[in-house]
Amino acid sequence: MKILTVSALVCAMMALTRAAALSEANPKNAKQVKSHLVKRWQVCSGRWSEINGRCFLFVPRAMTWSQAERNCQSLGANLASVHGAEEYHQIQRLISDSTHGSTQAWLGATDAAQEGVWFWSDGTPFAFSYWCRGEPNNTGYQHCLQMNYGGDKCWDDLRCNYHLPSVCVKKSFQFRADTEA
């Protein structure tokens, strides 16, 4: 029991030390979010862009849906889930800033496990959709979701073996430390 208590105290001290070091360093890309209980540092480093507290990355290399998902996983992420219209438009701007166009790209939804039952590969609820008129239509075994389809730049189901760019998402990195009340 003593070893367990000592281990817990050492872990807590290490976490607080790292949080204090982060607050002193105040990274350029960090955004401080204050509350009366905790101090949080949200960081989307390098080519990642923060949208609604998550980090997004446009990957221009064309891959199949499963290759794109594995690529995102190798980066500690998943293909992107979308949870609202404003978030979708921000992801479109992310792509537009990179490509100067409205490139079609994979998002992380699929209904391959059960036709018509769509889910996000990152495990978040599939509660928002932006399907084009008449979609998803599953014409020819279309089980993966592409964005920026057609004139309305909406969602379309597509065969998963097509090669498209993709968008990855991961949670922002956070440290917490007690703050003064």
Task: Say what the pLDDT of residue 5 is.
Answer: 40
Give the containing element (helix H, strand E) for 22: helix 2-25
Task: For the domain made up of 51-171, give the CATH fold.
Answer: Mannose-Binding Protein A; Chain A (3.10.100)
Task: Say what the pLDDT of residue 146 is.
Answer: 97
Q: What angle do CA 82, 160, 75 make, to 5 degrees?
A: 55
Residue 43 binned pLDDT confidence (cut-offs 50, 70, 90): confident
pLDDT in tens, 85-120: 999 999 999 999 999 999 999 999 999 999 999 999
Residue 77 binned pLDDT confidence (cut-offs 50, 70, 90): very high
Sign of CA dihedral 83, 128, 79, 103: negative
Residues spanned by CATH 3.10.100.10 within the chain? Answer: 51-171
Comparison of pLDDT for 163 and 178, the residue scoring more: 163
Tokens of 12: 């807590």
ω into 136 cis (within 30 of 0): yes
Instruction: Please report, to the nearest 10 degrees, the dihedral formed by the alpha carbons of residues 170, 107, 166, 50 taken in order.
Output: -40
What is the rounded end-to-end Cα distance, in angstroms, of the chain?
33
